[in-house]
Amino acid sequence: MSHLPLRILGLMSGTSLDGLDLCLALFGKDGSGRWTFDILAAETAPYSPAWAQKLQQAHTLGALDFVALHREYGRYLGEQAASFLRRKNLRADYVASHGHTIFHQPQRGVTFQLGEGAALAAAADMPVVSDFRSLDVALGGQGAPLVPVGDRLLFGGYDGCLNLGGFANISFEQGEQRVAFDVCPCNVALNALSRSLGAPYDRDGALAAQGSVSAALLSALNALDFYAQRGAKSLGREWVEEVFAKKMAEHSVSAHDGLRTVCEHIAVQVARAARGGTLLVTGGGAHNAFLVQRIADVSSCRIIIPDAQVVNFKEALIFALLGALYAGNEINTLASATGATRSSIGGSLVNVTPKCYQRDKSH
C-alpha cells in the first residue's frame, strides 16, 4: 500500500477529441481524514490531424491493426507524460490513464479504452494504473461514470456536479449514496454541427444563438428511450451514431437551428436530472456561455463555474485521484453510480523497474 502524499499524473482523452489532458496533482488528507489536492501543473496536448483521424477511425480496424494501435497509442501517452514532466521539471509517483474510449457497450459486457498500460509504462519509465472501467463492467456495471467518487471526495461541498464534455453527466448525493449517470450528448453533438459550418466548435455558443429552436426536433430528441431509463446509465459513440444522429437526420433543419435545438435539448435534460441547489459545472461546455445560460434559465440550480484549471482539467484530476485511491487500496468505483453488484478498486497496475534501480549486468 502506498502512503500519502502522492503525486499522480492523470491522463484523460475525451470523445470530443480536443486533445490529451494532463494534470499533475498532489494528494493528501487533512486532520479529519478528508482528501485534499493541489494541481501542480496541467495542460492539453492537442492531437495532430493524424492522431485525431486514427482515434476517430479506430473502431473500424481489423483485430491485428487494432491491437497494434492500442500499443502505439499507449506509447504515445507515455511519451506525452514523460515530456510533460520533463518540461515542467516535476516528478510523479504514478501515471493514472483513462485512455481513449473506442467501444462502450456495457449491456454486452464490453468497454474498451485505447492505450496499452504496458507500452505507456515503458515509454514513461514509471508505474502506470490504467483500464479503470473493465472490472466494474465485469461486476455487471456500466463502467461509467467513474468521476462521481472524485465529486464526492474532492467537491462534496456542492449539491451536484455537472460535466459538459463529449457527453453531459451529473452526480449528486441521494441519501447515503452518490448517484450519477450520463444525461445526454453534449459536445460530441455540438462539435459535429459546428464542423458542418467550418468551425471546430461553437465558441461561446455564438452559432447556436443565431438559430431557432425546432419544436419538432426538440420533442423528438426529448422522447428518445434513453431518457426514460432510471438508475445507472451511460452513453457511447455507438448510441450517438445509431440513435441520436439518425433522429437528427429525420428532421431537416439548418446547422444553426440544429445547434440551437441541441443546446435547448441539453438544458432541458440537465434540468430534469438536476436536484437544485448549487451545481458545479466543468468541462469544455462550461466555456459555452449560451449553453450555460440556457441551463441556468431552464433549471432551478445556482450555476457555479470554478477556476479555469478545474473547469478544464477536472476529469484528468479525478482520474489521478482514482490512481491515488488504487495505490492506497481504497474503493475508487461506486456501485451506486455504475449499477454494479458492488463497489470496487478498479484499474490495472504496470510497474517498471526505474532505470536508476537497474543492477549492473556485470554483477
The predicted-structure confidence for 36-53, as pLDDT tens digits, reads as follows 999 999 999 999 999 999
Sign of the torsion angle spanned by Cα atoms 192, 198, 202, 206:
negative
What's the rounded Cα separation, in Å, for the pair 318 and 297? 29
**If you average pLDDT over residues 177-198, what whole number do you get?**
95
Domain boundaries, the chain: 6-144+314-357, 148-311
Q: What is the pLDDT of residues 137-148, one digit of tens each?
A: 999 999 988 999
| pLDDT at 226 exceeding the cut of 50 | yes
H/E segment holding residue 179: strand 177-185
Least confident of 57-61, 145-149, 177-181, 232-236: 232-236
Nearest to 137 by CA among 346, 330, 323, 350: 346
- 307: its cell numbers: 477556476
Other CB atoms within 10 Å distance of the CB of residue 231: 9
Average pLDDT, the chain: 94
Please check whether the two domains, 6-144+314-357 and 148-311, share a CATH topology. Answer: yes
Contact 295, 271 (CB under 8 A): yes
Cβ-contact 337, 145 below 8 angstroms = yes
Query: Of 283, 253, 251, 242, which Cα lies nearest the Cα of 266?
Result: 283
Q: Do 339 and 232 form a contact (C-beta atoms < 8 A)? A: yes
Share of the chain above pLDDT 90, in %: 91
Neighbours of 67 (CB within 10 A): 12
Amino acid at 174: Q
Among residues 116, 117, 106, 122, the alpha carbon closest in space to that of 67 is found at 116
Name the CATH code of domain 148-311 (choices 3.40.50.10300, 3.60.15.10, 1.20.120.1630, 3.30.420.40). Answer: 3.30.420.40
Query: What's the CATH architecture for 6-144+314-357?
Result: 2-Layer Sandwich (3.30)
Query: Span 52-59, mean pLDDT?
Result: 96
pLDDT digit string, tens, across residues 277-307 = 999 999 999 999 999 999 999 999 999 999 9
| Range 24-34 average pLDDT | 95
Burial-class residue 218 by CB neighbours within 10 Å (0-12, 13-18, 19+).
middle
Nearest to 322 by CA among 10, 80, 101: 10
Parallel, antiparallel or unpaired: strands 301-304 and 277-282: parallel
Between CA 347 and CA 160 the distance in angstroms is: 26
